[in-house]
Chain A
């Protein structure tokens, strides 16, 4: 009888143990599975981010190379041809021409001179070597000069703090973003006054561009179903993200636009100083 009771106890114990092991296995399996899935998810996000980063980098490299090529062609080829034309016009101006013809040649020569200067300025702004050699600040100063020369806009470049190089890769991206923003401001906003401000802090760099144009509805454009609308803004966003920075667009219809780009500075970025302002 006692043996039978022992057998029953063993059966009950074994049964309980079996169901506990089964339940435990399933619970642990689910926990480990969830953990593995989380790791997989993180890996996939990292792969996607790297992929997007590489795509964007290649796009920017292609864009830079194209700009560089066009800039060089304008400067070395068309610029040289126009210079020769100008020299010939100079010779013609010195020759025995009728006075009225001479005046026309002189006027043409002057116009051509302006065209050559504009061409050089454009070529300079397309050429990324100027950023490599002289930095973002000088590149932007040239842009400001180019726009000032048109006489249509008031534009100023302000500088806060002790400037330093952010590195060519970062500066060229910022320079191209800045060119795009300025181009938009001149083309679409109807702004008459633009301020560019560079702020250098030990652990932060900030670039802000403020205009007094007609502004735009940022939220409306970004939520538009038509992806073509706002593609420029999205592109700026992506490029700033690539630099691990942040961009803030503040704009209201009729109240101008301010775009602020903030980048964190790693310790080795501030090694190459350009000097104080």
Chain B
């Protein structure tokens, strides 16, 4: 009962932060770079997918393929943010190459969905985003100019990526083990999922609030 209540609260937080991120991505769009300006599309796509999968989950329908369909879009929008920031040609080529390869992989997974492991798309995307985040931290550290980190939108998003993706690996990985051992504990562990999502989209809000023009 308590777990159910907490789950509802955390889901509320998650949807709240996602809606907040959508609001900020539209309202403060013009204060940001091109890649940031496009993020509202990604956020709306995520909201649609989450609402659809939530509905299918309740009614017992199949929905996992939708996540695989969303995956290349998600990687596209996130990698664009880093592509815009990186000056190094090798890194730019790396992003373009991984984006193409990842899209092809997801297409294959969708074609042969029944026989393939859809978690592969999820895991690979997470690993790629974590790599981009760590490279970004390195690039940011090596800069000689004076920077206020709190005014760097991508820094906030990278913090979100850095906490969210490893965290979600942990939750998804261990819930698949725990489900056969202790269902109650599994449900408790899964509470971290909406919390991590809420934190993730919270960092989007923080990112969008950077450099905002003060109201007159």
Contacts and interface: CB of A to CB of B under 8 A. Distances in A.
A7 B181 CA distance: 9
A25 B146 contact: no
A25 B167 CA distance: 14
B149 A33 contact: yes
Contacts of A41: 146
A4 B181 contact: yes
Contact of A15 (B149, B159, B174, B182): B174
B147 interface: yes
A8 interface: yes
Contacts of B141: 29, 32-33, 36
B162 A26 contact: yes
B185 A40 contact: no
Interface in A1-39: 4, 7-8, 11, 14-15, 18-19, 22, 25-26, 29-30, 32-33, 36-37
A37 B162 contact: no
Contact of B178 (A8, A14, A33): A8
A14 B170 contact: yes
Given A8-B185, A33-B140, A44-B146, A18 B170 contact: yes
B19 to A, nearest CB: 26
Given A32-B141, A33-B141, A19 B167 contact: yes
28 contacts: A4-B182, A7-B178, A7-B181, A8-B181, A11-B174, A11-B178, A14-B170, A15-B174, A15-B189, A15-B192, A18-B167, A18-B170, A19-B167, A22-B162, A22-B163, A22-B166, A22-B167, A26-B163, A30-B149, A33-B141, A36-B141, A37-B147, A40-B144, A40-B145, A40-B146, A41-B146, A43-B144, A44-B146
Q: Which 8 pairs between the two chains have the least Cβ-Cβ distance? A: A4-B181, A11-B174, A18-B170, A22-B163, A40-B144, A15-B170, A41-B146, A40-B146
Interface in B35-59: none
Interface in B66-122: none
A30 B148 CA distance: 11
Interface string B135-156: 0010011001111010000000
Interface residues of B, number: 22
B2 interface: no
B1 interface: no
- For chain A, what secondary structure do more than half of its interface residues adopt (helix, strand, loop), or is it mixed? helix
Nearest to B149: A33
Interface of B: 137, 140-141, 144-147, 149, 159, 162-163, 166-167, 170, 174, 177-178, 181-182, 185, 189, 192
Contact of A7 (B144, B147, B167, B177): B177
A22 B158 CA distance: 12
A25 B177 CA distance: 28
A29 B144 CA distance: 16
B198 to A, nearest CB: 15
Contacts of B145: 40
Contacts of B192: 15
A36 B145 CA distance: 10
Contact of A37 (B146, B159, B177, B178): B146
B203 to A, nearest CB: 12
Contacts of A29: 137, 141
Contacts of A33: 140-141, 149
A4 B141 CA distance: 44
A55 to B, nearest CB: 22
B189 A11 contact: yes
Contacts of B170: 14-15, 18
Contacts of B162: 22, 25-26
A36 B149 CA distance: 12
A147 to B, nearest CB: 50
A36 B146 CA distance: 9
